[in-house]
Amino acid sequence: MSVLATTLSRKQRELINREELILDTAQTMLNEHGYNYVTMDRIAEAVEYSKGTIYNHFASKEDLVCSLCCRFIKNLIDVFEKAYNYDGSTRERYSAIGIGYSLYHQLHPLDLQNIQTLKNNAVREKVSDEKLCEMETLEQKITKISLNIVQDAIDCGDLDKKHQENISTIVFGCWSMHYGALLLDQSDIPLHALGFSPVVNMLWKNSNTYLDGYQWQPLSDSTDSKLLFEQISSALFGNEINTLKRTA
Amino acid sequence: MSVLATTLSRKQRELINREELILDTAQTMLNEHGYNYVTMDRIAEAVEYSKGTIYNHFASKEDLVCSLCCRFIKNLIDVFEKAYNYDGSTRERYSAIGIGYSLYHQLHPLDLQNIQTLKNNAVREKVSDEKLCEMETLEQKITKISLNIVQDAIDCGDLDKKHQENISTIVFGCWSMHYGALLLDQSDIPLHALGFSPVVNMLWKNSNTYLDGYQWQPLSDSTDSKLLFEQISSALFGNEINTLKRTA
DNA sequence: ACCTGAACACCGTTCAAGT
DNA sequence: ACCTGAACACCGTTCAAGT
């Protein structure tokens, strides 16, 4: 940041700061009052600039929301990088990806709601191509990290070489399972009424079963998977996790 | 239908017919021009009734959309019932659930988009409690069918008795995997650019791996899974499937 | 060159008036 | 009792006027 500060003009720095201010304000408003409350008028009023100025920064409301989503994905990338660097076997590192993903969304449930809003065609078609491209680039980073761990597993023999061609399928399998589970969880389907136990637990069990299906070593029945979950989650989130436990 | 026709007054029948007309019109409009094009004004004009009359049938636009979703879910229930009655092992019948789910959404991709729209909190909070309840009842039917097959598998020994307590987790695992995969697929994430092969294939492979993880007999490597896929899909959808193959 | 906010377009919803 | 459509509220977007 200080590097940027010296190379950019005062004007440019002011523009960047203002854009951050708009995004911060929108995010707070969103977290506190929900999507329908967030209007361009209210944002303009809160940041004390005119609507025209907001439109100088963002081509549309959808572009603004997309910029928020990019922030969330950047946060996720940080989590994924921690998972990648987790000190353990490839299976543990890959498990850390899944745990990181599900716990991040437990900690920030509204982020996923927003991403979901943007994934909706009716909304996405209003986002400018540039913003969409920006988000896709970030999403590819995330995918890349996951793919790399599976590749590591094959290279070191934890995963059989015959799965070389299935790398992307394996990543997609875990991704879709987690994505779907978290969406089902937050969309108010009465999972409890249907006899479902809390989602994070089910996800942890299901992804273990799935990876066992690929014979990814070491298998889950040869490890203390409850302990492993604890270790990974505190490595990724530290004390933040305690907030979740207290509310649970 | 003829039963209803004799017990209801002419007035009541007219009301029901008009409601169907509104829904048909909205659905056609949606399929042809997308969500943003569908407005209450345009629906009213197309059905040649006033907006007030539309509001006599549906408390809000969201209620109307929710009614459409209920239709889609009813269609899915038909597919699930066919899968339940599929003539084969429990594993095959359960596989038929997954195949039915993914192929139905390949055949009617816009249905899922609509359901997704409705799952979004910002939209769902505008749906009336009664409509929401109607939809949840239908969704529970779907879940019930899946749970029953897993129970059958345990009862006949295809699935080990120790999984009795995991029945809902198993259903949730498959459900979330399919739901997530189909949403990722239709939300324009450049799966191909990331090296992902078509979603239906990946789902079929992944759910087999997942169920193998539970040792659900017979395991996928003891069966011709490609042939099984063909058999199930034509049992569920018959000729409809050919449309998909031609476009693929 | 940048900011402003009145004005516009659009859309969901209501309700007094009509039959 | 039911239907109508003008009127209203709201919100995203634009652009002429101002500095």
Residues A123, A49 share a domain? no
Nucleotide nearest to B40 (CA to C1'): C12
Instruction: Convert the pLDDT of each residue in B95-124 to its tens digit.
Output: 999 999 988 988 888 999 999 999 988 899
CATH of the domain at A26: 1.10.10.60
Q: Mark which of A17, A34, A57 sits at the end of a domain.
A: A57
Q: Mark which of A42, A57, A72 sits at the end of a domain.
A: A57
Residues A142, A189 share a domain? yes
Return the nearest residue to C13, CA–C1'.
Answer: B60
The alpha carbon of residue B89 is apart from the nearest alpha carbon of chain A, in Å, by 20
- State yes or no: pLDDT of B231 exceeds 80: yes
pLDDT at A185: 85
Alpha helix (H) ranges present in chain A? 2-7, 10-33, 40-47, 51-57, 61-84, 90-107, 109-119, 121-124, 129-156, 167-186, 199-213, 225-237, 240-247
Tell me, yes or no, if the pTM score tops 0.85.
yes
The alpha carbon of residue B196 is apart from the nearest alpha carbon of chain A, in Å, by 6
Number of domains in chain A: 2
Interface check for B191 against chain A (CB to CB < 8 A): the answer is yes
pLDDT at B1: 41
The alpha carbon of residue B176 is apart from the nearest alpha carbon of chain A, in Å, by 4
pLDDT at A1: 42
Residues B73, B47 share a domain? no
Residues B224, B205 share a domain? yes
Q: Which of B117, B125, B180 sits opposite A178 (nearest CB)?
A: B180
CA dihedral A20, A25, A27, A31 (to 10 degrees): 160
**Nearest residue of B to residue A203 by CA position?**
B173
Residues B158, B44 share a domain? no
Residues B168, B85 share a domain? yes
**Nearest residue of A to residue B123 by CA position?**
A36
Do the chains contact at A209 and B206, CB–CB below 8 Å? no
Residues A135, A204 share a domain? yes
Residues B7, B130 share a domain? no
Per-residue pLDDT of chain A (248 residues; tens, 9 = 90+): 444 445 667 778 889 999 999 999 999 999 999 999 999 999 999 999 999 999 999 999 999 999 999 999 999 999 999 999 999 999 899 999 999 998 898 888 899 999 999 998 889 999 999 999 999 999 999 999 999 999 999 999 999 999 898 898 899 999 999 999 999 888 766 666 666 667 777 778 887 888 888 788 788 888 888 888 888 888 887 777 676 665 55
Q: Which of residues 71-110 of A touch B (CB under 8 A)?
A: none
Residues of chain B neighbouring A181 (CB-CB closer than 8 A): 172, 176, 180
pLDDT at A6: 53
Q: CA A9 → C1' D6, Å?
A: 55
Instruction: Convert the pLDDT of each residue in B145-183 to its tens digit.
Output: 999 999 999 999 999 999 898 898 899 999 999 999 999
pLDDT at B14: 87
Residues A84, A44 share a domain? no
What would the DSSP string read from start to end of chain B? -HHHHHHS-HHHHHHHHHHHHHHHHHHHHHHHH-GGG--HHHHHHHHTS-HHHHHHH-SSHHHHHHHHHHHHHHHHHHHHHHHHT-SS-HHHHHHHHHHHHHHHHHH-HHHHHHHHHHHSHHHHTTS-HHHHHHHHHHHHHHHHHHHHHHHHHHHHTSS-GGGGGGHHHHHHHHHHHHHHHHHHHHTT--TTTTTPPPHHHHHHHHHHHHHHHTTPSSPGGGS-HHHHHHHHHHHHHTTHHHHHHHH-
CATH of the domain at A122: 1.10.357.10
Interface check for A210 against chain B (CB to CB < 8 A): the answer is yes
Residues A211, A184 share a domain? yes
Return the nearest residue to D4, CA–C1'.
Answer: B50
pLDDT at B188: 63
Residues A91, A49 share a domain? no
Residues B228, B128 share a domain? yes
pLDDT at B98: 92
Q: Mark which of A29, A57, A85 sits at the end of a domain.
A: A57
| Total CB pairs under 8 A between chain A and B | 159
pLDDT at A247: 54
Residues of chain A neighbouring B117 (CB-CB closer than 8 A): 120, 122
Interface check for A179 against chain B (CB to CB < 8 A): the answer is yes
- State yes or no: pLDDT of B29 exceeds 50: yes
Interface-testing mutation among B29, B120, B192, B201, with chain A (most A C-beta atoms within 10 A): B120
Interface check for B37 against chain A (CB to CB < 8 A): the answer is no
Give the DSSP letter of residue A131. H
Q: Which of residues 156-175 of B touch A (CB under 8 A)?
A: 166, 168-169, 172-173, 175
pLDDT at A201: 77
Q: Which of residues 224-243 of B touch A (CB under 8 A)?
A: none
Interface check for A198 against chain B (CB to CB < 8 A): the answer is no
- State yes or no: pLDDT of B208 exceeds 90: no
Instruction: Tell me the residue range of the domain where B180 lies.
Output: 61-247
